[in-house]
Amino acid sequence: MSTDGGAVWNLVEIVGCYGNVMAIDPIDNETLYIGGNRYNGSEFVMVFGRSENQGQTWTIWDLSTEYGYTQTLAIDPLDPRIFYAGGYCADGGRLLKTENGGYDWTDITGELVGNVYALAVDPVSTVYCGTNCGIYKSLNGGLDWEQKGNFSTTAIAINPVTPNILYAGGASGVYVSETSGDDWSEMNAGLVQAPEITALSINPLRTDIVYCGSSGAGVFGVNTGLAEFVAVTIPPQGAMWWIGDNEQIQWLSAGTTGLVSIEISRNGGVTWSTIDENVNDQGTYVWTVVGPESGECVVRVSDADGTPWGTSGTFSIQALGAEDAVPQAFDLHIASANPALGTVTVSCTLPYAEDVVIAIYDMTGGLVARLHHGPLPAGTKQFHWSGNSSSGNPAASGVYLCGVVAEEQVINRPIVLLR
């Protein structure tokens, strides 16, 4: 383990099992997870481990009763209590899911074929699974699987800004999909004899730059040229806007013509109406909210020629004086300008008193700063992030997530920090 960016490393001993893969909790960097195997007295079995003190002590759970090995872990970015563990057992591949941080597990292998070597979960909880027989996709948390590629897959990476773009690597090199896995094409130019790919990573600040690690051939990097995108950051998922208020619609973009069109849907994206068109692509637009009311609103920002485009999370538009004008739901909002040039203000609403963790973390899941950890009373309270990491150093420009975890719910909101 290193706490200084890799300058110095300290050994973390894992007593009770052999570790093969590790993950860090996106909200609490004191909590670590591992997967691997252990000898139970008669054979090696799949295991999962959890440490709540940066690896000083571990709790180990068996994930199988027969021979097996845990090869990969993936955490749901919308709820870090939900994650997936994949590997193989004597009778074939095995994929399990927990919804309470690893204390209880459910086998969701289902229609998957082959040993499980790679997992990834995108920002809307779509799950991708790579096996030695192909790559699979689930839209419902692993209840059902659909095969999306027939190439051996040992690594998966999802573009954090445009999650419809993803990369898969395996025995025959690297593949890219710009259609959420529906179609794939090879991207092996420059790779030495298409080596077996064991790891993939995307630069969170330059998502057009992708790195891959191979078995014996080294590490490679490529500028994919896929930097053309639009990503709507405000309104966030679950926001409530009031008719007559002035609200800022905000987005990130690259590769547009310089003009965008802004639309709204009040039925979850089935039909659209224009808010404004031929708007200068400056990343922000002030809109005086108009009716009718709806709880299924989505904003779409698109290049003037139609592509690229991006949509917001689903939010509500209400009239002042409506029966539910004072929401009693758990919520989190970015209350200051976003993108932010300085201090960021976030507003957390609780329907009742409970323990809460509010933190800022980067798009790779690393903790940047903790804003609050402890009890909060019912109501709305604001917290401020200076733009610095926990060590006091200024955080780099880029996209971050503000996450709040309460007893039963998790909410993440994007923050764009500019320097």
pLDDT recorded at residue 375: 86
pLDDT per residue over 167-215, tens digit each?
999 988 899 998 889 999 988 887 766 678 889 998 876 677 888 888 8
What share of the chain in percent tops pLDDT 90? 28
Please enumerate, as own/partner, the contacts of 134-143 that have beta carbons within 8 Å and a separation of 24 or more.
135/168, 135/181, 136/111, 136/112, 137/180, 137/181, 141/82, 141/97, 141/108, 142/84, 142/95, 142/97, 142/108, 142/110, 143/108, 143/110
Residue with tokens 């994919």: 224
pLDDT per residue over 70-106, tens digit each?
999 998 877 778 889 999 998 899 999 998 888 899 9
Arithmetic mean of pLDDT, 386-398: 84
350: Cα separation from own chain's centroid: 24
pLDDT recorded at residue 228: 66
pLDDT band at 323 (very low <50, low <70, confident <90, very high): very low
Of the candidates 131, 137, 165, the residue with the CA atom closest to the CA atom of residue 151: 131
The alpha carbon dihedral of 179, 106, 58, 37 has a sign of negative
pLDDT greater at residue 382 or residue 146: 146
On the question of pLDDT at 321 being above 60, the answer is no
pLDDT band at 269 (very low <50, low <70, confident <90, very high): confident
pLDDT recorded at residue 300: 92
77: Cα separation from own chain's centroid: 4
Residue 397: partners with Cβ closer than 8 Å, 6 or more residues away = 205, 417, 418, 419
On the question of pLDDT at 61 being above 80, the answer is yes
pLDDT greater at residue 375 or residue 256: 375
The CA dihedral of 282, 286, 290, 295, to the nearest 10 degrees, is 70
pLDDT recorded at residue 324: 43
Answer for the pair 317, 335: CB distance below 8 angstroms, yes or no.
Answer: no
Answer for the pair 161, 252: CB distance below 8 angstroms, yes or no.
Answer: yes
Residues 24 and 2: their CA atoms lie apart, in Å, by: 13
Assessment of whether the complete model's pTM goes beyond 0.85: no
The alpha carbon dihedral of 96, 97, 100, 101 has a sign of positive
Tokens of 367: 């903790």
Answer for the pair 12, 1: CB distance below 8 angstroms, yes or no.
Answer: yes
Residue 261: partners with Cβ closer than 8 Å, 6 or more residues away = 274, 276, 277, 278, 279, 301, 302, 303, 304
Catalogue all structural domains in the chain, each as residue range(s) with its CATH number.
18-223 (2.130.10.10), 228-326 (2.60.40.10), 328-419 (2.60.40.1930)
244: left (phi over 0), alpha (psi -120 to 50) or beta: left
pLDDT per residue over 337-385, tens digit each?
777 777 888 888 888 888 899 999 887 777 889 999 888 887 778 888 9
